[in-house]
Amino acid sequence: MNIFLDFDGPVLDNKARLYQLYFDLLAEFGGNPLPIDEYWQLKRNCVKEDVILKEKSGFTEELNGDYQRLRIEQIESKRYLSLNAVINGCYESLDFLAKQGDLMLITSRRNRDNLIWELKDKKLEKYFKKILSDFNDYLPAWQLKVDLIREFIPEFGKADIIVGDTEAEILCAKELGIYSIALLSGIRNEEKLKLYVPDIIYENINEVVKNWTQIKTNAQKI
């Protein structure tokens, strides 16, 4: 069995990283940042960064372009990646999942070197058989993940599972015909995730472990 696991959201709490970058960039441009909970609520409701800037900070199109350029440059820097926190209980859950099949990390990251650095820094690398990562500005995240699996995993089947916190993993699962688990520990709220009809929704990765027997049975029925 292959278990494909997204990184940001299921394994890492990246709320502090995304907010701090937003806060720092607004300070650079002389804007007034939203409180962290309001910002995160908008992000989880699938409101794009440029919309938040325009509607909440009055950014012009020109300023928004400068902001987005700097955001892309810095979002995967070690400075900000260091703000990501491993989800409570995640080490134990990863250890369990790694013993149930081939555990693969699958993530949309531009900077693979810094991804590997972060995995080592947070002592996460050992749990994954393969690290599938890439980024393409011209492909939706779900298609990118489909392509990664098809290219690097020669044998995948209906009993396989993908776990993530966004629509990307759900749509990837539907395209490949595998079982999808959506988690509420990341950047989408339950209302948004339900729109894409995952096979099951759990609070976090630890709930996946608690319900593993039922998950495995259901995945084999896909």
What is the total count of domains within the chain? 2
Q: How far apart are CA 59 and CA 68, in angstroms?
A: 11
User: Model's pTM, two decimal places?
Assistant: 0.95
**Could you tell me what percent of the chain has a pLDDT over 90?**
88
For position 199, what pLDDT does the model report?
Answer: 98
- Per-residue pLDDT of 43-92, as tens digits, reads 999 999 999 998 888 888 888 889 999 999 999 999 999 999 999 999 99
- Same domain for 37 and 132, yes or no, is no
Q: How far apart are CA 145 and CA 112, in angstroms?
A: 15
Backbone angles phi, psi at 167, to 5 degrees: -65, -20
Q: How far apart are CA 88 and CA 104, in angstroms?
A: 20
For position 62, what pLDDT does the model report?
Answer: 83
Band (pLDDT 50/70/90 cuts) for residue 205 is very high
- Same domain for 51 and 143, yes or no, is no
Given a cut of 80, is residue 222 above it in pLDDT? no
- Same domain for 69 and 94, yes or no, is no
Do 165 and 198 meet the contact criterion of CB atoms below 8 Å apart?
Answer: no
- Same domain for 9 and 31, yes or no, is no
- Per-residue pLDDT of 93-148, as tens digits, reads 999 999 999 999 999 999 999 999 999 999 999 999 999 999 999 999 999 999 99
Q: How far apart are CA 185 and CA 206, in angstroms?
A: 10
- Per-residue pLDDT of 140-178, as tens digits, reads 999 999 999 999 998 888 899 999 999 999 999 999 999
Residue range of the domain that includes 58: 15-81
* Cα dihedral 133/135/140/146 (nearest 10): -30
Q: How far apart are CA 144 and CA 108, in angstroms?
A: 8
Q: How many residues would you count in the chain?
A: 222
For position 99, what pLDDT does the model report?
Answer: 98
- Same domain for 145 and 42, yes or no, is no
Strand partners, 201: 182
- Per-residue pLDDT of 174-199, as tens digits, reads 999 999 999 999 999 999 999 999 99
Q: Of 81, 108, 137, which closes a domain?
A: 81
Angstrom CA distances, 116 to 90, 109, 119, 134, 170, stand at 18, 11, 5, 12, 25
- Same domain for 52 and 146, yes or no, is no
Phi/psi region, residue 121 (left: phi>0; alpha: psi -120 to 50; beta: rest), is alpha
Q: How far apart are CA 131 and CA 177, in angstroms?
A: 21
Which residues, including other chains, have CB under 8 Å from residue 99's CB and lie 6 or more apart? none
- Same domain for 178 and 196, yes or no, is yes
Tell me which residue has tokens 């020669």: 154
- Same domain for 19 and 110, yes or no, is no
- Same domain for 9 and 19, yes or no, is no
